[in-house]
């Protein structure tokens, strides 16, 4: 069974977010930074959804953004998991992918 889910991991901060994403079938992980504004988050999610072959799954560590970011992403019809940093001790991207039930890269 092939998994076509696009995985997006975010390192969230008060003013901006660092984003790393993996499109199924691509050889590399795409990285970029966006501002922490409603407009930029909506624009990013819609752009990723447009290029993704199927579902899109986001994750980020619990912190400054709380659950506001999760609600914004889920309002745009994407899955989003908020990870408790105290519960894990592995690399951030691997932790996000595993939390969504997917095999790590």
Q: State how far the Cα of 9 lies from the Cα of 14, in Å rounded to an integer.
A: 16
Segment 18-32 shows an average pLDDT of: 89
pLDDT of residue 94: 66
Domain assignment present for 71: yes
42/20 Cα distance (integer angstroms): 16
Q: Is residue 27 part of a domain?
A: yes
Q: How many domains does the chain have?
A: 1
The least confident of 33-42, 53-62, 85-94 is 85-94
Note down the domain range covering 78: 6-99
Tell me, yes or no, whether 47 lies in a domain.
yes
Does residue 1 fall inside a structural domain? Answer: no
Is 100 in contact with 81 (CB distance < 8 Å)? yes
What is the per-residue pLDDT for 95?
61
Residue showing tokens 């819609």: 46
**Residue 26: pLDDT band by 50, 70, 90 thresholds?**
confident
Could you tell me the pLDDT band of residue 103, with boundaries at 50, 70 and 90?
very low
Is 105 within the bounds of a domain?
A: no
Residue 104 lies in a domain: no
Task: State how far the Cα of 101 lies from the Cα of 98, in Å rounded to an integer.
Answer: 5
Q: What is the CATH number of the domain that holds 56?
A: 3.30.420.40
């Amino acid at each position: 069974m092939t998994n076509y889910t696009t995985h997006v991991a975010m390192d969230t901060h008060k003013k901006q977010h660092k984003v790393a994403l993996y499109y199924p079938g691509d050889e590399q992980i795409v990285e970029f930074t966006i501002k922490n504004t409603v407009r930029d988050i909506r624009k990013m999610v819609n752009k990723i959804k447009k290029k993704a072959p199927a579902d899109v799954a986001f994750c980020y560590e619990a912190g400054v953004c709380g659950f506001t970011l999760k609600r914004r992403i889920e309002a745009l019809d994407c899955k989003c998991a908020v990870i408790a940093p105290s519960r894990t001790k592995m690399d951030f991207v691997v932790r996000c992918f595993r939390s969504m039930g997917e095999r790590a890269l």
